[in-house]
Structure 1
């Protein structure tokens, strides 16, 4: 009977060892994925910054809060920011980020924050 207990203990130790190895592998994989995501986010921020700089240098009109009509400003005041952003993008042929900045600027000017 002692031999059966000994074999059972060995099998349990092997299972526990394999489980720990698997958990450590998963933990390390998650760390690598998180690191990769951070790198991708940094690269995306850099690319967005470069895109904004290129758009400002090009002939594309970069909207400012002074260029918005009173109707668009009224949309912002009324809380229809997403609709206003879409309208700005269509009217000025600018990026989503540029339109959002204009809306944020108008909100600051009107002290809506």
Structure 2
């Protein structure tokens, strides 16, 4: 970790267009807390061939508009890749998505 580096909010995304909402939530968090914004996407190595290139490019564009740096890793162990990234950067908050509740609850 670089000591002179500002703390950041990290948004973890997949290869889905709907992750735009997570990036926008991360942007709001970063602005309210005075943090940098970083976006991390960890995909299986077999996806590096371009299977989801349009979705990843879209999320890069959303990240850029939000003022974020987006990093994509192709790794077999996404948890280890994310933890390594978190330890190497000054991450203060992490924004994650979840599976929508099929019962329709807002909580």
Query: Do they fold alike, i.e. is TM over 0.5?
Result: no
When Rg is computed on C-alpha atoms for both structures, the one with the higher figure is: 1
Using structure 2 for the length normalisation, give the TM-score. Answer: 0.23
Task: Decide which structure has greater strand share.
Answer: 2
Compare relative contact order (CA 8 Å, sep 6+) and give the higher one, 1 or 2. Answer: 2
Task: Decide which structure has greater helix share.
Answer: 1
Using structure 1 for the length normalisation, give the TM-score. Answer: 0.22
